[in-house]
């Protein structure tokens, strides 16, 4: 959600990847140097977030009391706390936790005793699949409409499109989800209510030799059109609910940037040469306007993942967000910590990739 404000307040030079560490070294180095510095900057980000989450979660007490407090006697609790090492000094636990994370071990969930790494691997792909669909929806809806709004600037179409963009942002994903469900799944009865696939399709995909967990790929592996159709129809409503949230942001960004480029000299020059208005918007004004959008996609990932938690809960899409809500309800803070840490890593890494892409496209971005 923060990214929306970001898109709206131009005076903050925001997504500029320059942090003071890098600025002090700024000397107009090449792309390779930029990538290295930018990569090194991920580490403090992840480190800070993991540290923050660790100490915040631990501030409420040890995870075992939180999860099992009411159900075990005091002595049994103490025994389990001792066995898990939660009675040691917090700093010792912290460094042990850091060490474990580096080796990819996130511990074991308390409520259902599963390795966190396994949970992350199983449900992470589902979340990424959903985020990917949503991003497609956002592109398809946001970019063309943004260009239209810029072209009809200050006219009725523009106002309507901008109100649509604000509505996209103002509607919580879970409410959008509920409305879509109500209309398409309950009243019209054309799309499934919830889940990633019907049980029979899931059963069919279960036995695949190299199962990816990405249902669309798995569905194609079965080669059964019924399964493919089933998986796709299940994805439609969640993807729209989550995608519209981002589509509104894209629409506004494209609009603002295309308006900016439409008033540049080279567009005037092109217009005076007799280039058609369509071509003017489509070719001349649109492409340079895309660069800021690429940078903002990085921030959209954070928004998408946050939205995915809500979308998944609405549609019972069994991904990380859905699991997160379950573990939150069960007060299983080891699992919560693991999932939150992984999401932090995903956000940091996508931001890195996006910054590199932006640097490849626009040489001015480099330090």
Site for other proteins in 278-297 (CB under 8 A): none
Of 65, 201, 313, 323, the one binding other proteins by CB under 8 A: 313
Among 78-86, 232-240, 282-290, 304-312, the segment contacting other proteins (CB under 8 A)? 304-312
* Region binding other proteins by CB under 8 A among candidate stretches 117-125, 218-226, 227-235, 252-260: 252-260
Which parts of 15-34 interact with other proteins (CB under 8 A)? 19-21
Interface residue with other proteins, options 29, 31, 33, 57 (CB under 8 A)? 57
The piece of 56-64, 70-78, 101-109, 196-204 that touches other proteins (CB under 8 A) is: 56-64
Under the binding rule (CB under 8 A), the answer on residue 250 touching other proteins is no
345 binds other proteins (CB under 8 A): no
Stretch that binds other proteins, among 180-188, 201-209, 218-226, 359-367 (CB under 8 A): 180-188
Told to check if 306 binds other proteins by CB under 8 A, we report yes
Geometric angle at alpha carbon 225, from 186 and 125, rounded to 5°: 75
Q: Which residues contact 348 (CB under 8 A, 6 or more apart)?
A: 42, 45, 46, 49
Binding region for other proteins (CB under 8 A) out of 88-96, 211-219, 271-279, 338-346 = 338-346
Q: Is 236 in the site for other proteins (CB under 8 A)?
A: no
Assign 3-class secondary structure to the chain.
CHHHHHHHCCCCCCCCCCCHHHHCCCCCCCHHHHHHHHHHHHHHHHHHHHHHHHHHHHCCCCHHHHHHCCCCCHHHHHHHHHHHCCCCCHHHHHHHHHHHHHCCCCCECCCCCCEHHHHHHHHHHHHHHHHHHHHHHHHHHHHHHHHHHHHCCCCHHHHHHHHHHHHHHHCCHHHHHHHHHHHHHHHCCCCCCCCCCCHHHHHHHHCCCCCCCCHHHHHHHHCCHHHHHHHHHHHHHHHHHHHHHHHHHHHHHHHHHHHHHHCCHHHHHHHHCCCCHHHHHHHHHHHHHHHHHHHHHHHHHHHHHHHHHHHHHHHCCCCHHHHHHHHHHCCCHHHHHHHHHHHHHHHHHHHHHHHHHHHHHCHHHCC
Q: Pick between residue 21 and residue 208 the one whose CB is nearest to other proteins.
A: 21
Write down the least CB distance from residue 229 to other proteins, Å. Answer: 22
In angstroms, how far is CA 301 from the centroid of its own chain?
A: 3
Of 98, 159, 190, 208, the residue at the interface with other proteins (CB under 8 A) is 159
Q: Pattern 119-158, binding to other proteins, x per CB under 8 A?
A: ----------------------------------xxxx-x
> Of 66 and 216, which has the nearer Cβ to other proteins?
66
- CA-nearest of 318, 309, 317 to 336 is 309
70 lies in the site for other proteins, by CB under 8 A: no
Q: Does 264 bind other proteins (CB under 8 A)?
A: yes
C-beta of residue 284 within 8 angstroms of C-beta of residue 261:
yes
Q: Is 256 in the site for other proteins (CB under 8 A)?
A: yes
Rule CB under 8 A: choose which of 132, 164, 174, 220 binds other proteins.
Answer: 174
Closer by beta carbon to other proteins, 121 or else 182: 182
Of 130, 228, 231, 302, the one binding other proteins (CB under 8 A) is 302
Residue 9 has phi, psi (to 5 degrees) of -110, 85
Q: Rule CB under 8 A: which of 195-214 touch other proteins?
A: none
Is 215 an interacting residue with respect to other proteins (CB under 8 A)? no
Please state the closest distance from residue 99 (CB atom) to other proteins, in A.
Answer: 21
The reply on whether position 12 binds other proteins by CB under 8 A is: yes
Under the criterion CB under 8 A, does residue 48 sit at the interface with other proteins? yes
């Amino acid at each position: 959600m923060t990214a929306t404000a970001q898109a709206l307040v131009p005076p903050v030079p925001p997504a500029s990847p320059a942090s003071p560490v890098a600025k002090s070294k700024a000397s107009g180095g090449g792309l390779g140097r930029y990538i290295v510095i930018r990569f090194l900057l991920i580490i403090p980000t992840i480190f800070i977030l993991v540290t923050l989450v660790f100490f915040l979660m631990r501030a409420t007490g040890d995870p075992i009391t939180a999860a099992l407090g009411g159900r075990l006697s005091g002595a049994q609790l103490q025994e389990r706390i001792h066995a898990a090492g939660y009675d040691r000094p917090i700093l010792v636990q912290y460094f042990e936790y850091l060490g474990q994370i580096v080796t990819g071990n996130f511990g074991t969930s308390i409520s259902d005793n599963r390795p966190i790494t396994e949970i992350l691997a199983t449900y992470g792909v589902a979340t990424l699949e959903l985020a990917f669909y949503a991003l497609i929806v956002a592109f398809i809806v946001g970019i063309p409409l943004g260009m239209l709004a810029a072209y009809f600037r200050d006219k009725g179409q523009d106002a309507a499109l901008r109100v649509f963009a604000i509505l996209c942002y103002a509607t919580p994903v879970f409410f959008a989800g509920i409305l879509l469900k109500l209309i398409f799944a309950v009243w019209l009865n054309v799309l499934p209510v919830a889940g990633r696939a019907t049980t029979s399709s899931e059963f069919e995909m279960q036995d695949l030799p190299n199962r990816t967990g990405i249902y669309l790929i798995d569905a194609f592996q079965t080669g059964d059109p019924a399964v493919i159709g089933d998986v796709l129809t299940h994805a439609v409503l969640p993807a729209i609910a989550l995608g519209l949230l981002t589509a509104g942001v894209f629409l506004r960004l494209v609009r603002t940037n295309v308006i900016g480029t439409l008033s540049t000299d080279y567009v005037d020059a092109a217009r005076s040469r007799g280039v058609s208005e369509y071509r003017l918007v489509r070719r001349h004004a649109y492409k340079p306007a895309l660069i800021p959008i690429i940078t903002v996609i990085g921030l959209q990932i954070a928004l998408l993942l946050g939205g995915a938690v809500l979308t998944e809960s609405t549609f019972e899409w069994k991904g990380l967000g859905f699991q997160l809500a379950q573990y939150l309800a069960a007060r299983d803070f080891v699992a919560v910590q693991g999932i939150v840490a992984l999401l932090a890593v995903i956000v940091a890494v996508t931001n890195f990739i996006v910054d590199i892409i932006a640097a490849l496209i626009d040489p001015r971005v480099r330090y």
